[in-house]
Amino acid sequence: MLPNQLKAAQFSGYPPLARQLAVNRVLVLQQLPLSFLPLLLREVIQYDWKFPAERKELDNQLAYLGSLSAEQLRQSMAPFAALRLPAQFERIDWVNEPVQFSEQLTAHLWATHQIDAFRRASVEYVHELNAATPPGPLPAKRLGIVLVGQGVERNTYRLFRKLRPQGVYFTRVSAENGRSILLDAVAARAQAHPIPFGHWYIDGGTEASSCGGLTCVSYASLDTVRIALVGKMRKVMQAGGGGPEVLRTMLAQMKPQDLGLSGDGDEGILNRFQVSVLTEGSGTQLFSTTFVQWSAREVLRRAQPLTLLARFTPRQREQSIRELLAGTQQKPVADPQGSLIDADMGAYYTWINQQRLPGADQSSFLVWFENHNEALAVSPSLPRGGENNTPTDLRQLLRQM
Q: Interface with another protein by CB under 8 A: which residues?
A: 107, 110-113, 115-116, 119, 122, 161-162, 233, 237, 244, 247-248, 251, 281-287, 289-290, 293-294, 297, 315, 318, 320-325, 328, 330, 335, 337-339, 341-342, 344-346, 348-349, 352, 356
**Shortest distance, position 49 Cβ to another protein, whole Å:** 22
Between 88 and 389, CB nearer to another protein: 88
Spacing of C-alpha 256 from chain mean position: 17
Which one, 111 or 131, has the nearer CB to another protein? 111
Of the two residues 114 and 392, which places its CB atom closer to another protein in the complex?
114
Q: What is the DSSP string of 56-98?
A: HHHHHHHHHHHHS-HHHHHHHHHHHHTS---GGGGGS-TTT-H
Closest approach, Cβ 324 to another protein, in A, equals 8
Minimal distance, residue 322 CB to another protein, in Å? 5
Nearer residue to another protein within complex by CB, 272 or 297: 297
Distance CA 344, CA 287 (A): 15
Residue count of the chain: 401
User: How far apart are the C-alpha atoms of 238 and 325, rounded to whole Å?
Assistant: 9
Alpha helices in 238-379 (DSSP H): 243-253, 265-280, 288-298, 321-326, 336-355
Q: Min. distance of Cβ 319 from another protein in angstroms?
A: 8
User: Which residue lies nearer to another protein by CB, 74 or 301?
Assistant: 301
Q: In the bound complex, what is the minimum distance in angstroms from residue 401's beta carbon to another protein?
A: 23
> Toward another protein, which CB reaches closer, 1 or 324?
324
DSSP annotation of 174 reads E
Q: Are 299 and 338 in contact (CB under 8 A)?
A: no
Helices (H), 149-258: 178-192, 223-237, 243-253
Whole-number Å distance between alpha carbons of 123 and 108 = 19
Question: What is the Cα Rg of the chain in Å?
Answer: 23
Shortest distance, position 335 Cβ to another protein, whole Å = 8
Beta carbon of residue 199, minimum distance to another protein (angstroms, whole number): 23
| Separation of CA 174 from chain center | 32
Strand partners, 365: 144, 378
Nearer to another protein, 116 or 264 (CB): 116
